[in-house]
Chain A
Amino acid sequence: MSSSNPGSPSATATSSSSASSFSSKAHSCIRALSSILSTVPSSVSSSSSLLHDPTVSSQISTLLRDPDSGSGENDLCRWLYDTFHSPDPELKLVVLRFVPIVAGIYLSRIASRKSLAGFEAILLALYAHETTARDGQPISVNVPDLTQPSIYHEAKSSVKTQATELNLAVISPTLEPHGTMRSSRRARIVGVALELYYSKISQMPVSSKLEFCEFCDIWATGIQNKPSSSSSSKQKTILLPWELLQPSLRILGHCLLGAHKSKKLYEAASMATKSLYERSLHDIDAKAILATSSLLRLEKMALDPKLNVDHTEIDMSLAL
C-alpha cells in the first residue's frame, strides 16, 4: 500500500525510471569506453554528447582503422556490440555512427584472411535488429500509374478501371535470420546495416557521413585518396553487388543533395559519386550507370546559379 502514497520516494522513482536508467546506462557505457580510449573529455556525460564529441569519435575511428582491429577479442568491437544492445535508442545511434567505418574496413579486409569476428558480430547484431524490427518483411514501393487520381493530381479520364495499375518494387527483400556471417550473405548483411544507417542518417554527424564517402570511394576504385593515411597504397577493389550498391547510393544521394550545409561533405560525396559512376561503367551495370550519372548531372545543376533563381525574392518596385 505504501506505493500508493504520492510522497513516497518509490513513486517519484518510477515516474522517471526509464530516463534515469537510460542515463545510468550511458554513464556505464562511457566508463567502459574510457578504459579503451586514451582520453574521454569530462564534457562527455550523456549519449548525445557521446554521439557528437569529435575527440571521442576520432579516437574510435583511429582505433577501428588499426591493422589489428576487428578481431573477436577486440575491446572496442565488444564495446560497440554491447552498446548497441543497450535499450537506450541514443546509444544505438552512437554505434550506427560508426557503421561506415566498420563496414568499410570490414569489406576492404575480406581478402586478407585476418580474423574479423569482432566486426562481424557488430554487423550481425545490426542485421538481427533490423530483421526483428521489420519482422523479416520486405520493403516495397508502389510506383503509381497516373490514370488513377492521387492526392497530388486529378485523373483526366474518370474511367475507374478495376485493377489499379501499380508497379510493386521490392527495394529491400525478405530478411532471413542469420546467426553467422556466411560469405554468400555478406553483402546482404552489410547492405542491411547500411539501410539501418540510412534510416537514421538525419541524426548522424557530418564526420560519420564523410567516412562513408571515403569508403565508398575506396570500394569503387580500390584507391585510398587520403594522403595522410598510413596505407595510401592501392587496395583491392571489392565486388559491389546491387544489395550493397543500392543502400550506398541512397546514402550518397543524401550526402550530395540533402539539406545539410557542409561544403566538405558535398565535395566528398561528389568525389565518391564520380568514382561509383566510373565503377558502374567498368561493371557495365545499367541501373548503376543510370543512378550515378543522374546524380552527377543533378550535382552540376545544383551548382549552376542560372538554374537556381530565388523566386521568393521581393519585387523591387517602390510603388504602392
Chain B
Amino acid sequence: MADDETPSQTQESSTAREFSANGTSMSTTDVEAKLDKGNIEEAESSLRERLSLNSEEARTLLGRLEYQRGNVEAALRVLDGIDLQAAIQKLQPSSQQAARLVLEGVYLKVKSLQKLGKFAEAAQDCANILDAVGRIFPQGIPDAQVESKLQEMISKAVELLPELLKQAGKYQEAMAAYRRVLLNPWNLDNDCSGRIQKAFAVFLLHSGLEAGPPSLGAQADGAYVPKNNLEEAILLLLVLMRKIHHGDIQWDPSVLDHLMYALSLCSQTPVLSKQLEELKPGVFHRTERWNLLALCCSGVGQNKAAMNLLRKSLHINERPNDLTALLLAAKICSEDSQLAAEGVGYAQRAVDNAKGVDEHLKGVGLRMLGLCLGKQAKVSSSDFERSRLQNEALKCLDSALSFEQDNPDIIFELGAHYAEQRNLNAALRFAKKYIDITGGSVMKGWRLLALILSAQQRFAEAEVVTDAALDETGKWEQGPLLRLKAKLKVSQSRPMEAIETYCYLLALVQAQRKSSGPMKIDSQVQI
C-alpha cells in the first residue's frame, strides 16, 4: 500500500460499487467522497436526484454503503437521520414494500450495533422488528402473500434475536426468545428453523441455566411438552435428526454429536442406536457406524449385540486394527468364558497396535489379555493347559501394572488371580493395596480381602474386615457382605450367631421389597 493512500481509498479501488434503484444505477465513488468528508446531507441529496428516491430510501442505501465499507459507526450516523421508531409505528399491512424498507433500515442498525458490541441495544431494536412484523401479520406470515425479500429479512431478524440476547448476557431472555421464535409461525424455511432449533438445543444443553418448562397453556393441545432443559434439548435434536432422515435439511454431524452427548449422559444409548441405524448410507463409513453402534449396545450391557457388530468391523477385510474396537471386544470377551479364547486374539492385536500416539493404551491391552487368558484358563480341558494359561495371565497383568502403576483395576485383578492360584500371600498384598488405593469405596475389594483371609483360616480377621466393610456400606448394598459374615460364623462354629445374621439379612430383603417403588432400581438389595 502506498503511504499516501488511506485504507478506505484502497478498499474503494479494489471494489467498484454501484447503487441501483428504479431502473437506474450509479457509481458510488462521488457519494463515498462526500461521506468521507462528513457531508451526509449532500450525499443523500445526490442519491435522491440521480435515482429518484425519497429521503428514507436514500438514507437506507447510504447506511448499507457505510456498513459494507466497514464504517459501522458512520452507518449508524446515517441511519440516525431516519426516525425509524416513528416509521415502524406507521407501518401498514397493505404496503410490504414500504414495510421492508423501514425494517431493513432497523435491521441494518441492529447489525451495526452488534458489530459495535452494543448487544442489549441491538436486541431491543431486533425485538422491535419482530413486534412490527407481528402487527403486520397478526395471524402469522402467509407463505403465498409475503414478499420474498421481506421474508428474508424477517428470517434473519428471527435468527439473530436470541443470539443478541446471549451476547448481551441476558440468558433468561434468550431462552424466552428462542421459544418465541420457534413456537410462532414466522414462515421460516427448513434450513433457518433447523439452525435456530440446533442453536437452542445447544443453549439448553450447555448454558447451565434451568429455565423451567415452556408454558403454553391451551396451545399445547395434547402435544408433548418437555418438562426441563435436558428433555427439551433432546426433543429438539430428535426433531432435527428426523428432518435429516427425511432430507428436509442437510446432514449436520454436530446434531448427532450433541445428541450422542445428551443421550449418553442419560444412559439412553439404544435411542442413539436407532438414530444411527436410520442414517442414510454414506454418512458414516460402515465400520465407524458399527463401532458406534457397538458402543451404544455395550453402554447398556447388550454385549451379545455389541460383539456381533464388533466381529463385523474387526473382520480382516474391514478395520481389524481399530484400537477402541479391539479393546471393547476384548473387554466383552473377558467377561464370558465361552468367548475368552476369541478375546485373547483381540487383546493381543490391541497390544501389538498400541504404538505411537496410542502407546498409552498398551497397558490396557495387556490387562485385557491377562483377563481373557485367566477366563480361558477356567474352561481349559487339562490341568497342564490351565496352569499354563494362568501363568501367562499373571505375567500379562504384571506387565500391565508396570505401565499403569497405580491402576486400581489391575491391582484388584492381580489379587483375584493370585487368590485363584492359591498364592494367598501375594493375593493378600494386592487386596490390601486395593483397599488403600480406593479408600475402601468398592465392596468387591472388601469381599476379596475377607475371602483371602478366610482361605488362610484367619476367620476372626476376616470377620473384622467384613464388619469394617459393613460400616462403609449403605444398608441396601449389605446383602453379599451379610452372607459372607454368616458363613464366617459357621466356619467358626458359631451357628446361633450365623442364624442371627441370616435373620437380619432376611429382614433387610423384606424391608427393601416393601419400600421398592418403580424408581428404586438403583438400590435393590444385592444378594
Which A residues fall within an 8 A CB radius of B?
Answer: 110-111, 113, 137-138, 140-144, 146, 148-153, 164, 167, 169-171, 173-174, 176, 178, 182-187, 198-199, 201-202, 222, 236-237, 239, 246, 249-250, 253-254, 256-259, 278, 281-284, 286-291, 294-295, 297-298, 301, 307, 311-316, 318-320
Contact = CB atoms under 8 A, between A and B. Distances in A.
Interface in B303-361: 306, 323-324, 327-328, 331, 360-361
B60 interface: yes
Sorted from nearest, which 8 A-B pairs have the closest CB atoms? A110-B439, A169-B266, A201-B208, A320-B21, A150-B224, A173-B522, A286-B298, A291-B264
A198 B265 CA distance: 14
B299 A286 contact: yes
A198 B208 CA distance: 7
Contacts of B272: 290
Contacts of B20: 318-320
Contact of A199 (B61, B210, B239, B360): B210
A237 B159 CA distance: 45
Contact-size category for B: 35 or more
Given A141-B231, A318-B61, A290 B207 contact: no
A170 B521 contact: yes
Contacts of B10: none
A253 B260 CA distance: 12
A298 B441 contact: no
Interface stretch (B82-90, B250-258, B379-387): B250-258
Given A153-B242, A318-B28, A319-B20, A282 B230 contact: no
Contacts of B253: 297, 301
A306 to B, nearest CB: 13
A311 B158 CA distance: 11
Given A141-B231, A183-B472, A281 B327 contact: yes
Contacts, number: 255
B333 to A, nearest CB: 12
B264 A287 contact: yes
B440 A183 contact: yes
B423 interface: no
Contacts of B228: 141
A144 B268 CA distance: 11
Nearest to B58: A320
A286 B342 CA distance: 20
B258 A294 contact: yes
Contacts of A170: 519, 521-522
Contacts of B298: 286
B406 A254 contact: no
Interface of B: 17-22, 25, 28, 51, 53, 57, 60-61, 64-65, 67-68, 101, 107-108, 111, 152, 156-157, 159-160, 163, 166, 171, 182-183, 192, 195, 197, 202-203, 205-210, 214, 216, 219-220, 222-228, 230-231, 234-236, 238-239, 242, 253-254, 257-258, 260-261, 263-272, 292, 295-296, 298-299, 306, 323-324, 327-328, 331, 360-361, 363-364, 368, 404, 406-409, 436-443, 471-474, 476-477, 519-523
Nearest to B64: A318
Nearest to A150: B224
Contacts of A199: 208, 210
A109 to B, nearest CB: 9
A110 B435 CA distance: 11
B515 to A, nearest CB: 10
Contacts of B107: 314
Contact of B234 (A144, A222, A290): A144
A151 B267 contact: no
B266 A171 contact: yes
Nearest to A312: B160
B214 A153 contact: no
Contact of A320 (B53, B225, B295, B361): B53
A215 B471 CA distance: 29
26 contacts: A143-B231, A143-B263, A143-B271, A149-B223, A150-B224, A150-B226, A152-B197, A167-B271, A173-B519, A174-B520, A184-B443, A199-B208, A202-B171, A237-B407, A239-B442, A253-B205, A253-B206, A258-B207, A282-B407, A286-B298, A290-B295, A290-B296, A294-B257, A311-B156, A320-B20, A320-B101
Contacts of A316: 68
A253 B233 CA distance: 14
Contact of A290 (B101, B230, B299): B299
A185 B361 CA distance: 30
B24 to A, nearest CB: 11
A256 B257 CA distance: 14
